[in-house]
Amino acid sequence: MLKRIGIADTTFARVDMAKLAIDEIRNSGREVRVSRYTVPGIKDLPAAAKRLFDGGCDLVMALGMPGAADIDKQCANQASIGIILLQVLTGKHVIEVFVYEDEAEKKQELLRMVEERTRKHALNALRLLFNPEELTRMAGTGRRQGAADAGPLRP
């Protein structure tokens, strides 16, 4: 059965994160259909994800790039709460991929972080749909998306 991944993204983001996710998914060799729904801001992502689920998606990636201001972080938190609620109500995964503008000081580092986090989470979305046991094998390994892996803590 053909799996469907929804990509919800925003015009507020300063990078076309959806393009990165779609590229990673298409280059994975997996037979998957991708649907994209773009909204103006981060607080619109829960409704976008719901629409993608209503359209038959099995999983949604919610992509956003909150600004550095306190109000931007507050809006991102509100969006996260909506995304969590949607997951509980639908029983489906929404992979939240947010990169805050103040996570890196230099533009190039921020761009690298956006690309790496988005692409790694696209692979996680594929794992959830096709190979969830692979995530189980990765449990406790301190994996990070957009930063160096922390590694496991050893007794």
Note the pLDDT tens digit of each residue in 54-100: 999 999 999 999 999 999 999 999 999 999 999 999 999 999 999 99
pLDDT of residue 8: 98
Tokens 């709460």 map to which residue?
81
29 torsion bin: left (phi>0), alpha (psi -120 to 50), beta (else): left
pLDDT of residue 102: 96
Q: Classify domain 3-138 by CATH number.
A: 3.40.50.960
pLDDT of residue 154: 83
The token duo for 153 is 């803590």
Sequence spans of domains, the chain: 3-138
Mean pLDDT taken over the chain: 96
Sign of CA dihedral 141, 142, 145, 147: negative
Residue 155, pLDDT > 80, answer: no
